[in-house]
Structure formats: C-alpha cells, structure tokens
Amino acid sequence: MKALITRIVKGMMTVIVMGSAALVAAADAYSAPTDDAQRNSNEPLMLRGIMQNLSTDMQQITGAMAMEDWQQVAQAATRVADHPQPTMSERLRIMAFLGTDAAIFKGYDQRVHTAAMKLAEAARREEGGAAIKAFAEVQSNCLGCHQTFRQPFQAHFEVNYEQAY
Ligand code: HEC
C-alpha cells in the first residue's frame, strides 16, 4: 500500500514537473523573436556594464592625477579609449533603434576615444595641464552622449524589458 502511494506521488510529481517544463517552453515560444528583433530581450543592455566600467576608470583617473601617478592615468585612459563594445546582436538592436541618429551616437563615442588617447599620451609625457584638458574633453563627450541619448534609451529598452515578461 505504502509502495503504491509512493508510486502514485512520484507519478504526480513527474506530471507536475513535465507540465511546468511545457509551460516554460510555451512561454519561451511566446516571447521568441518575431519580426521585431528589438522587442525580444529580457536582459539589461550590455552597454550598461560597459558604462559602469568607464565610470570606474574615469574615477581612477581623477584619483591617480591627484597623486601624479601618470602611469596609472595612462593605463586607465587607454582602457577608456579601447573600451569593449556590446555583442554584434546588441549593436544591431541599438543601431536599429537609433536609425539616422546613429551617426551622432558614434560621433560621441569616437570623440571619447580620441580624447582618451590624448589623455594617455599627455600622461605618458607627464604633462599635467594637457592631461587635465584632455580629461575634460573626454568627460564633456560622456556628458554630451548622456544628455542626448540616456533618456530615449531607457524609455525604449526598458519598455522592451517589461514587454518580455
Ligand atoms: C555614445 C554614447 C555614450 C558615450 C560616449 C558614453 N555613454 Fe555612458 N551611457 C550611454 C547611454 C545610452 C546610457 C544609458 C544606458 C541605460 O540606462 O540603459 C549610459 C549610461 C551610463 C552610466 C549609467 C549606467 C547605469 O548603471 O545606469 C554611466 C555610469 C556611464 N554611462 C558612464 C559613462 C562615462 C564615464 C563615459 C565617458 C568616458 C560615457 N558613459 C560615455 C551612452 C554613452
């Protein structure tokens, strides 16, 4: 009798487990890519993590400049200049969203790159004044991009995070 009950309970568990697996699969299929590649992500943009690292590097640069640790300034500035990009598929989503504004977005990124290279060079030459000037140029392009794009990105991509659930 006990063995029978155990078998029945086990059988029921199997049905429940398989049932939930089927539900999960169905939910996946429901939110699977359709015709709009921008509307199927339920993950935050990789861009955010990249941005957080840029921020850490910029803070390290100000700290290192105060110590006149030019080697550290040069290293962190090089990381800012050569920051990683999101994956190809995320870049495509971003570019699809930006449309004709993509050139403006890329322009800010390019100027951050150029100014950060300048900063690294000034640091290697141990030219504090030139380093500070280049640092300001980096930061004004961070700000420029944020003032133009942060709000639209959050409005667009966060709506999509919610739609994915
Ligand atoms: C080409 C455009 C662009 C440039 C250049 C840029 N950012 Fe951003 N950044 C963004 C966008 C868009 C967001 C908003 C992303 C979001 O909220 O999903 C953002 C968000 C951030 C955030 C907030 C991240 C979070 O967790 O909410 C930080 C910090 C940041 N950027 C730092 C920087 C720093 C430092 C620089 C310059 C070295 C920089 N960014 C340059 C586009 C840019």
Give the model's confidence band at 3: pLDDT under 50 very low, under 70 low, under 90 confident, else very high.
low
Greater model confidence, 109 or 8: 109
Considering the domain architecture, whether residues 27 and 106 belong to the same structural domain is answered as no
Distances (CA, A) of 154 to 46, 85, 112, 143, 160: 13, 18, 21, 16, 10
Residue 58: per-residue pLDDT: 98
What's the length of the chain? 165
Confidence of residue 43 (pLDDT cuts 50, 70, 90): confident
Residues 9 and 72 in one domain: no
Distance CA 95, CA 15 (A): 45
Residues 147 and 84 in one domain: yes
Tally of domains in the chain: 2
pLDDT, position 116: 98
Q: Does the pLDDT at position 60 exceed 50?
A: yes
What is the pLDDT averaged over residues 97-119?
98
Does residue 38 lie within any of the structural domains? Answer: no
Q: Is residue 86 part of a domain?
A: yes
For residues 60 and 137, state if they share a domain.
yes
Mean pLDDT, residues 1-23 = 54
Atom 2 in ligand 1: residue holding the nearest Cα: 145
State if residue 81 touches ligand 1 by the CB under 6 angstroms criterion: no
Residue 36 lies in a domain: no
Is ligand 1 within 6 A of the CB of residue 150?
Answer: yes
Average pLDDT over residues 79-103: 97
Same domain, 11 and 65: no
Ligand 1 in reach of 154 Cβ (< 6 A): yes
Q: Kindly state whether residues 57 and 122 are assigned to the same domain.
A: yes
The verdict on residue 64 lying in a domain is: yes
Instruction: State how far the Cα of 75 lies from the Cα of 124, in Å rounded to an integer.
Output: 9
The response to whether residue 142 sits with its C-beta less than 6 Å from ligand 1 reads yes
- Residue to probe by mutation, ligand 1, list 46, 95, 97, 142, most atoms within 8 Å of CB: 142
Q: Give the atom of ligand 1 at the shortest distance from the alpha carbon of 48.
A: 24
- Are 26 and 88 in a shared domain? no
126 shares a domain with 83:
yes
Domain annotation covers residue 37: no
- Domain encompassing residue 158: 43-164
Same domain as 76, residue 16: no
Q: Which atom of ligand 1 is nearest to the CA of 54?
A: 35
Residues 88 and 47 in one domain: yes
- Residue bearing the CA closest to ligand 1, atom 8: 51
Integer Cα distance of 73 and 40 in angstroms? 40
The tokens for 90 are 């995320």
pTM score, two decimals?
0.79
